[in-house]
Amino acid sequence: MPETDGFVVVFGCKRCGKCKDVCPVGAIYEENELAKIDPKKCNLCMKCIDECTNRSIIYMD
């Protein structure tokens, strides 16, 4: 799976941690002060999208 496949956090993320807290598989982490989603762990449940009030998580294919 190419690195761009799956959900990604885009500009506008406030790093509130709500998406990280709701992720059932621990796929969301911080790196260089930015939220990231590990595509190998992500099970595409979309709970992070529902939780993000800034709409900063999108799907890339």
- pLDDT in the model for residue 2: 45
pLDDT at 41 over 80: yes
- For the chain, give the mean pLDDT: 86
Is residue 59 a contact partner of residue 33, using CB atoms and an 8 Å limit? Answer: no
Within 8 A by CB and 6+ apart from 32, the residues are: none
- pLDDT in the model for residue 1: 39
* Confidence grade of residue 11 (pLDDT, cut at 50, 70, 90): confident
Can you say how many angstroms the Cα of residue 28 is from the centroid of all Cα atoms in its chain? 5
Predicted TM-score of the model (pTM): 0.79
